[in-house]
Amino acid sequence: MTMIDSPVEIRDGEALDTDTIQGFLMDTIPGLAGQMSIKQFPSGFSNLTYLIGFDNRELVLRRPPFGKKPKSGHDMSREYRILSALKPVYKYCPEPLVFAEDPAILGCPFYVMERIPGIILRKDLPQGMHLPPEAAQTLSEHLIDVFCELHAIDYKKIGLGDFGKPIGYVNRQVDGWIKRYRDARTDDAPDFEPVMAWLTEKMPPDAGKPAIIHNDFKFDNVVLNPENPLEIIGVLDWEMATIGDPLMDLGNSLAYWIEATDSDEMQAIRIIASNIEGMLTRKAQISRYCENTGTKVDNFDFYYCFGLFRLAVIAQQIYYRFFHGQTSDNRFGMLIFAVVVLNQTAEKLINASDL
């Protein structure tokens, strides 16, 4: 069995108009030949991702999910713009090929990019892949190094000076995600009030040097070289990227990083293979990041707690759609458990924190 990430048949209710898409792509992307095929990448809970196959080329199409969407979410034009700006200076970006917003084509804005075929690590290693502890450590070090490369890019030099509002970023993030949680809360969800109060009280000033931040940087959004799985060759899923505080970005990333010593409840919601022997701990990742970037941070509890809370909000927003019958995807119904566990973990963190 191949370890390369592969698509599957399209889920019910998420099919695309094949004839319309094929005509549009053949008119706008030179050299495509043969009959088009469409499959869907099954992972992810947000924007939908499809593999578009022609006889001579494979493409990836990204579109918003069906159903009600957060007002500021799923902006295809932003995602396409940052890929276009980053591709010349950040080798891990897939090449964007075309953006379209004419509703006559797909009924929503979408874009098409090149496919970077490779290995993507999800909850467990793919069948046939083995990482001894030394290799796991090296790969997790490379993950942080690629993250640091992104934060080191001069965003103004590549035309992204107006892509975000770095001044007041931390405050806006805390206030904004609190509002989003309250708006999306369902009767069966925890209130998160102690955590939200602590984040409001303990928020630090913005980091001195803003950066391009990915906002969803984790193993299942990077592509590994099939010939050398310790080499990262792609970074995907740029829908939440902006300009802001890079320490907030790191905190968001570490919220996904569940270690072997974390609670059984956290293990149950793990979605990436971060708990195998040899992987860097969260503490070691913070140290490597600070060493690489020259950053000094005395206590990372705020950033990690915010990452846990933000992840809970994202899960709750998606669960809200399921709760109110806006999607039939059964994966969404399980997310309320993740919201509860993340609340418990955040409360445990703040009770033990020295901040």
Name which residue leads in pLDDT, 5 or 44.
5
In the prediction, which pLDDT does 289 show?
98
192: left (phi over 0), alpha (psi -120 to 50) or beta: left
pLDDT at 44: 60
> In the prediction, which pLDDT does 1 show?
40
Domain ranges of the chain: 18-114, 133-352
What CATH code is assigned to 133-352?
3.90.1200.10
Looking at the chain, the whole-number percentage of residues with pLDDT higher than 70 is: 96
Amino acid 13: pLDDT:
81
Q: What is the pLDDT of residues 321-340, one digit of tens each?
A: 899 988 777 889 999 999 99
Euclidean distance between CA atoms 323 and 213, whole angstroms:
31
pLDDT for the residue numbered 71? 44
pLDDT category of residue 355 using cuts at 50, 70 and 90: very high
pLDDT for the residue numbered 6:
77
- pLDDT tens digits, one per residue of 167-197: 999 999 999 999 999 999 999 999 999 999 9
| pLDDT range class, residue 242, cuts 50, 70, 90 | very high
Instruction: Quickly count: other Cβ atoms within 10 Å of residue 227's Cβ.
Output: 9
The number of beta carbons lying within 10 Å of the beta carbon of residue 283 is 11
Give me the mean pLDDT over the 6-28 stretch: 89
Task: Report d(CA 253, CA 276) in Å as an integer.
Answer: 17
Residue 119 is classified by DSSP as B
Which whole number is the average pLDDT over 42-48? 73
Distance CA 289, CA 284 (A): 9
Q: How does pLDDT run across 122-141, given as a tens digit for each residue?
A: 999 998 899 999 999 999 99
Q: Which residues contact 13 (CB under 8 A, 6 or more apart)?
A: 66, 327, 328
Residue pLDDT, tens place only, 51-78:
999 999 999 999 988 754 544 446 899 9
- Rounded mean pLDDT, 10-17: 86
Residue located via tokens 């899923």: 237
* For residues 345-352, average pLDDT: 98
pLDDT score of 150: 98
What number is the average pLDDT over the span 213-241? 96
Q: Could you tell me which residues come within 8 angstroms of residue 76 by beta carbon, excluding any fewer than 6 positions away?
A: 47, 62, 63, 64, 99, 101, 108, 109, 110, 111
pLDDT score recorded for residue 207: 85
State the Cα torsion 314-275-349-309 to the nearest 10°: -10
Q: Is domain 18-114 classified as CATH 3.40.718.10?
A: no
Backbone angles phi, psi at 326, to 5 degrees: -90, -10
Cα gap 339→169, rounded to integer Å: 24
Query: 213 vs 238, 254, 268, 285, 320, CA distance in Å?
Result: 9, 14, 28, 17, 26
Q: What number of other Cβ atoms are within 10 A of residue 352's Cβ? A: 8
DSSP calls for 261-290:
TS-HHHHHT--SS-SSTTPPPHHHHHHHHH
Average pLDDT over residues 78-91: 96
- Mean per-residue pLDDT, 206-229: 95
